[in-house]
Amino acid sequence: MSAQDTTLIVVDVQESFRQAPYWDASELPAYIARQQALIDGAKTAGMPIVQIFHVDTDEAFRLESGLVRTLWEITIEPTITFHKGVHSALVDTGLEAWLRANGIRRVIVSGIRTEQCCETTTRHASDLGFEVDFVTEATLTFAMTHASGKVFSAEDIRVRTELVLAGRFARIVTVEQALAPLSAAA
């Protein structure tokens, strides 16, 4: 694979999440560092960068809210931007058509939330025949409470997501591993 047939997908890295009742910034610095390293590495390699924003009827996710914009800590100059209204970035957005028109065969998935839009986009991309690298360290999520009352930490959720994606839908990689094929091709 090369930078010409690979794209970085940055899912829902948007200010809207700061308004959510589950927002927890405790893991934000580590996430920001890894997400920015991935964006910067993709840019250096000449890889197209796709930015996805989630838009729905929740006040913070409405375009009119002014919060459907990149987290202020992240610097990104996307090649193209899509808006989605469901979990997968590949449903009714034009992303799949854009990927195919640009000869993309491999996607690198990162963003917010690990187990929701990032995982769903990963599964969907795999089912459509794309090779997928899932960069868990460049995803962010938050603790969740099961109906039984058991609390699953963000780390629990990341581990579970890796478990169900690895070898079935994606290759689980670090930022450096995702970018390595591009460095080797240069």
3-state secondary structure of 110: strand
Determine the distance from the C-alpha atom of residue 166 to the mean position of all C-alpha atoms in its chain, rounded to a whole number: 16
pLDDT of amino acid 177: 96
**0.85 surpassed by pTM:** yes
What domains are defined for the chain?
6-181 (3.40.50.850)
CB atoms within 10 A of CB 9: 26
Q: Return left, alpha or beta for 99; rule: phi > 0 is left, psi -120 to 50 is alpha, else beta.
A: alpha
**What is the structure's pLDDT at 184?**
57
User: How far is residue 141's CA from residue 22's CA, in Å, rounded to a whole number?
Assistant: 9
pLDDT at 181: 75
Dump pLDDT digits (tens) for 18-39.
999 999 999 999 999 999 999 9
The SS3 of residue 98 is helix
CA 55 to each of CA 17, 62, 68, 107, 162: distance values in angstroms, whole numbers, following the listed order = 12, 6, 7, 22, 26
| Contact by Cβ (8 Å): 144, 155 | no
Q: Which residues of the chain have pLDDT under 70?
A: 1, 182-186
Taken in order 90, 6, 171, 145, is the CA torsion positive or negative?
negative
